[in-house]
Amino acid sequence: MSLTKAEIIKSLNTNTNLSKEKCASLVESVFELIKDELGEGKDVLISGFGKWSVNDKNPRKGRNPQTGTALMLDGRRVITFKCSRKLKETLNSGH
């Protein structure tokens, strides 16, 4: 099961003295800030967690798998995530 935004808000509300509405606003603001930074092509680094980076992909040759027709795929931007060493150690400590 995935961690949802609603679960993050509920956990924040449970562990702080903030109202549920304030927690929801806070979580929305953080995600909006991350989205805006990535939209501008900037990296987002959260120490102890990881780093999101925006990379440009060049146009490339492709083909339609149904017909086999060759075509050119447009260039695009992709987001990559690299977890921190600390997070990697936490994930692997139970194995």
The tens digit of pLDDT for each residue in 76-92 reads 999 999 999 999 999 99
Q: Work out the number of other CB atoms within 10 angstroms of the CB of residue 23.
A: 19
The string of pLDDT tens digits covering residues 36-81 is: 999 999 999 999 999 999 999 999 999 999 999 999 999 999 999 9
CATH 3.30.420.40 fits 43-95, yes or no: no
Provide the residue ranges of all domains of the chain, joining segments of one domain with +.
1-40, 43-95
| Residue whose tokens read 């146009």 | 59
Mapped onto helix, strand or coil, the DSSP state of residue 51 is strand
